[in-house]
Amino acid sequence: MRLPCPHCGERGNEEFVFLGSADPVRPADSEAPIEDWIDYVFLRDNPAGANRELWHHTYGCRSWIVVRRDTRTHEILGAEPARSLPPPASTSAAK
């Protein structure tokens, strides 16, 4: 499996660590309804098709990247640095 690191170029999966879906958004604050937190921390969809995933280029530039992958064909549709994506509202406002 090969992943396109936006910084280092295409690399083998042995350089990466997988986290999971990039879709869940951290709730606005720790007092948000507990169901929202359970959703964010524990519950994941299992999509057939395009999926956004968080990978860490552990043995490379140590960037977290969001990889778009089709779970049916394993086709990689693209990747961006996580830091370039708009941050969730909660943490950008964290004091």
Partner 1 sequence: MPEPMLESRSALAGLLAPGHYGANGGTGVSLSECRGRTLLSIAARAGQTAALSAAIEGAFGVPLPMQPARTAAGSVAFIWSGPGLWLGIGSSTDDLARRLATCAPGLASIADLTGSRTTIRINGPSAREGMMKLVPIDLDETVFSTGSAALTVASHIPVQLWQTDDTPTYEIACRRSYSVSLWQSLTEAFAEYGYSVAP
Partner 2 sequence: MTPQTQHTSQPFRLASGGLIDRATAMPFTFDGREYYGHPGDTLASALLANGIHLTGRSFKYHRPRGILYAGPEEPNALVELRTGARREPNTRATVAELYPGLTACSQNRWPSLAFDVMAVNGLAAPIFPAGFYYKTFMWPAAFWEKVYEPLIRRAAGLGRAAREPDPDSYERSHLFCDVLVIGSGAAGLAAARAAARSGARVVLCEQDFRLGGHLLSSRDEIDGKPALGWVAEVEGELAAQSKVRVLRRTTVFGLFDHGVCGAVERVSDHLDEAPPFTVRQRYWKIVARHIVVATGAIERPIVFPQNDRPGIMMASAVRSYVERFAIVPGRRAVVFMVDDSGWSTVEALQRAGASVAAVVDPREEAPERARSIGDAKVLCGATVTGTRGRLRLSGVTIKDRQGREQYIEADLLAMAGGWDPALHLTSHLGSKPKWDESIAAFVPGSLPSHIDVAGAAAGRFGLDAALKDGVRAGSEAAHHAGFASVSLAPPAASALPMHTRCAPSWRAAKLDAKSFVDFQNDVTAADIALAAREGYRSVEHAKRYTTLGMATDQGKSSGVNGLAILADVTGRTIAETGTTTFRPPYTAVAFGAIAGRETGKALRPTRLTPTHQWAAERNAVFVEVGQWLRAQWYPGPGEADWRESVNREVRAVRSTVGVCDVSTLGKIEVMGPDAGRLLDFVYANTVSTLKVGRMRYGLMLREDGHVMDDGTVARIGEDRYFLTTSTAHAEQVLRHLEFCHQVLMPSLDVAIVPVTERWAQLAVAGPRSRELLAKVVDGFDLSTAQFPHLSVAEITICNGIPARIYRVSFSGELGYEVGVPADYGDAFIRLLVREGEPLGLEPYGTEAMTVLRVEKGFPATGELNGQTTARDLGLERLLSTKKDYIGRALQRLPAFNEPDRPVLVSFAPVNASDILRAGSHILDLGAAARIENDLGYMTSAVYSPTFGHHIGLGFLKRGRDRIGERVRAYDPVRNCDVVVEVGPPCRYDSDGGLARA
Please give the residue ranges that form the binding site for partner 2 (CB under 8 A): 1-2, 12, 17, 19, 26-27, 29-32, 34, 37-38, 40-42, 54, 56, 58, 62-64, 73-76, 81-85, 87-88, 90-92, 94-95
8 binds, among partner 2, partner 1, none (CB under 5 to 8 A by kind): partner 1
Closest by alpha carbon to 46, among 7, 81, 72, 16?
72
Residues 72, 60, 62, 25, Cα dihedral to 10°? -10
Q: How far is the CB of 73 from partner 1 (least distance, A)?
A: 24
CA 93 to chain centroid, in Å, comes to 20
- Whose tokens are 């299992």? That residue is 46
Q: How far is the CB of 71 from partner 1 (least distance, A)?
A: 25
